[in-house]
Amino acid sequence: MTASLPTINATHDPALRSWVDSAHQHAQFPIQNLPLGVVDHGSGPRIAVAIGDAILDLREVVLAGLLPAVDAPTRDALCTSTLNDWMALSASQRGALRLALSTLLRADTPEGQQATALSSRLLRLQSECALRMPAHVGDYSDFYAGIHHATNAGKFFRPDSPLLPNYKHIPIAYHGRSSSICVSGTPLKRPSGQIRRDTPQGPAPELGPSERLDYELELAIWLGEGNALGEPIPIAQASTHIAGFGLFNDWSARDLQEWEYQPLGPFTGKNFMSSVSPWVVTQEALAPFRCPVMARGANDPQPLDYLLHAPDQSGGGLQVTLEVLLSTRTMRDQGIGPHRLSLGDSRFLWWTPAQMVTQQTLSGCNARPGDLLGSGTISTPSRDGFGALLEITEGGKVPVQLPSGESRTFLLDGDEIIFRGHCEREGFARIGFGECRGRIEG
């Protein structure tokens, strides 16, 4: 069986107009987007759709009988408190729901007129809602698919050979800590651990708070329908097992990481917290913004056959513009807005999300709805698109100068990191991912 990526359809029409006035040409959440998330507006966690500056409460939509075009399992999934059951739906069920929601939110349909009459029951302002974790994350793997980041980081340890021999052959990842993944806005407590100190007798550890706290700019890849233990997901079907995408900050304590990462890889330098954006932008919404996989050079190896699928090679990549901003305590006190650190692009991922899913399950690992994959840090070839301070400051040697007169090599207490993402293409409406924020506490 061969599965294909979602295709462009009527839900992507840039001429669509919603009865929710704020959705018209909204930079993040026009009617052409319709990301799902979990909100609380005083009645406990509810599944909702972001539409303009508002949210559409899907439990209320179901109770009002406004989704007759979708099946009972889909309606039941929308009445839960997390997106796990929605993620477990088939790709065709998720696509049918998107079409029904688009029709319901349009200003020129009978369904839209019916919903408009119930708007006071169905809508809330986003500013009045608390945003929750989109799903319960059972398992989390963080990939290393940003080749420019891998090259830049590798130069600090292996100047003559920054990429290890396996890098261009295999989508490599480490298994992370799902319990410490938090929704955007959750404060980050500075981690402590063993830090290497050079002494006359040689390297020795010292216990203390991290002095080299960093961020990593990544995409979140939310898994949908799972697979049975021992039954890998083939590359031709892998895209149907992805429910959607978000923004992901894989916070890193570089000094803890440096001392502990050999021989088994990341541990306490990575497990203290990761931040994920609250809205899940669906596979279907991103259909107009797919692109070919990152081009290989003439001397680069081709992936093994199990990682090759023509549709994935031609359209399995993503064109997402990614922005990182920094706000310090002093900047906020002086009324200075966040300072842009970098502007990146997800096209610079060596592996596609589908290839990551196939590699994750290759040995028979069973994926489950709500499992999360990190793409790995996304950097562009130029400095203005680097995805971590480790790269921007050359390992702490070249400080970033800020408009407040401050400088940074790594993050200090009170600093807030903000990720933003959006997709644009001529002939289609711009859609966004919202934000992923985190402020550091001592």
Rounded CA separation 94/34 (Å): 12
Catalytic annotation present for 149:
yes
Q: Could you tell me the two tokens for 438?
A: 């985190």
Q: Residue 326: enclosing H or E segment and its boundaries?
A: strand 321-327
Rounded CA separation 24/52 (Å): 7
Rounded CA separation 89/243 (Å): 9
Rounded CA separation 122/105 (Å): 11
Contact 38, 131 (CB under 8 A): yes
Neighbours of 295 (CB within 10 A): 7
What are the φ/ψ torsions at residue 404 (nearest 5 degrees)? -80, -5
DSSP 140-197: EEEE---HHHHHHHHHHH-TT--S-TTTTTS--EEE--GGGEEETT--EEPPEEEEEE
Rounded CA separation 35/170 (Å): 31
Neighbours of 128 (CB within 10 A): 11
Half-sphere exposure of 253 (CA within 13 A, CB side): 28
Catalytic residue among 148, 149, 309, 339: 149
Q: Where are the alpha helices (DSSP H) in 66-125?
A: 72-77, 84-87, 91-105, 110-117, 119-122
Contact 102, 431 (CB under 8 A): no
Rounded CA separation 298/46 (Å): 51
**Residues with a known catalytic role:** 149
